[in-house]
Amino acid sequence: MEVEHKKWRRWLFYVDIVVVGVMIISIVYLAKDAYMAGYYHGSNDEITFLWHMGRDIAFVTGSLAWMFYRFFTNEFKILRLPW
């Protein structure tokens, strides 16, 4: 079964919107967890917030990778078009 081109582009647009939302939320949580890790510096709670920062960095990295992939894929498709 093959998906129509317009439908596929629409679903990718929805995925892009969700990825941007995930990135924004991850950046907010990254800032919060970095603040809390600094606030609890020297205690056992610092390790917990550092792990939380690692989680947030993973989501930001994944979101950025998806956005760069989509950007360069679309840029390549545009450059292939004859003017």
| pLDDT value for 44 | 84
Q: Which residues of 11-28 are buried (b: 16+ CB within 10 A; e: fewer)?
A: eeeeeeeebeeebeebee
Provide the H-helix boundaries in the chain: 5-39, 45-80
| pLDDT value for 52 | 94
pLDDT exceeds cutoff 90 at 66: yes
In tens, the pLDDT along 13-56 reads 999 999 999 999 999 999 999 999 999 898 888 899 999 999 99
φ and ψ at 19, to 5 degrees? -65, -40
- Full-model pTM: 0.83
| pLDDT value for 3 | 81
CA distances from 23 to 31, 34, 50, 57 (A): 12, 16, 18, 10
Average pLDDT over residues 7-17: 94
